[in-house]
Amino acid sequence: MGRWIIYTFWCTFVLSGAIMVLKADLVYKNVHTNSNLWGDRIVMSLKYVKAKKEDADMLIEIYNASFYDDYIKYGECPAYGKTRESMEASIEKFPKLIIHYDDNPVGVISVENKGKGEYYLGCLCVIPKYQSKGLGTQAVKYMLDYYKGWNKITLITPMDKEQNINFYTKKCGFTIDGTDMDGNVKVAHFIMER
């Protein structure tokens, strides 16, 4: 389901006093571009692979790395410290796509189909080392394209996590639809409708 992008560029260089022009085509699959603060184009090779039960241990590692700070901050985090059995059950109940960046598994997006075009984004996580590279934004765009029949998407995140609030509202287009307590953590409910 990846798309192919072909970049053509011309390169001019001098060899033994003669000017040479070289044309080259670069082909990327599942390529996304981003820009950094200086306007440089950054090319990322992303792919999304449906998780299987055999991936449980890898998913636990990704979740634990991604949610460790939340576990320390709140003293609890539903995504942190899962057992192999609970992760396998979660894979069955909530389909997960493993986010691969340059062929390395670095994140997960998990979406539950609630029926009638409504989806719940249960988890979007990226290992801290790979955050702030646009991978989460691209994962949300991929999700919106993957679930073509969506009418409404909801999710929750801790209210005091300003980075998450800004990510979902400013970069992804969600709006806050209320707050609630989840255990000892105040959470924001997000919604996106079309």
pLDDT in tens, 49-64: 999 999 999 999 999 9
Residue 120 lies in a domain: yes
- Per-residue pLDDT band for 72 (boundaries 50, 70, 90) equals confident
Residue 145 lies in a domain: yes
Residue 7 lies in a domain: no
Q: What are phi and psi of 167, to 5 degrees?
A: -60, -55
* pLDDT tens figures, 130-168: 999 999 999 999 999 999 999 999 999 999 999 999 999
Residue 189 lies in a domain: yes
* pLDDT tens figures, 98-127: 999 999 999 999 999 999 999 999 999 999
Q: What is the average per-residue pLDDT within 59-73?
A: 91
CB contact at 8 A, 90 and 52: no
For residue 79, what pLDDT is reported? 81
Residue 24 lies in a domain: no
Residue 40 lies in a domain: yes
Higher pLDDT, 79 or 86: 86
Residue 2 lies in a domain: no
Tokens of 145: 């394209």
How many whole angstroms separate alpha carbon 175 and alpha carbon 186? Answer: 17
- Per-residue pLDDT band for 36 (boundaries 50, 70, 90) equals very low
Q: How far is CA 112 from CA 96, 143, 147, 153, 177, in A?
A: 9, 11, 11, 10, 19
CATH of the domain at 156: 3.40.630.30
CB contact at 8 A, 68 and 80: yes
pTM: 0.76
- Per-residue pLDDT band for 42 (boundaries 50, 70, 90) equals low
Residue 13 lies in a domain: no
Burial of residue 119 (number of CB atoms within 10 Å: 0-12, 13-18, 19+): buried
Q: At what angle do helices 56-74 and 84-93 cross, to 10 degrees?
A: 100
- Kindly tell me if the per-residue pLDDT of 186 is higher than 60: yes
What is the extent of the structural domain holding 113?
31-193
In the chain, how many domains are there?
1
CB contact at 8 A, 51 and 59: yes
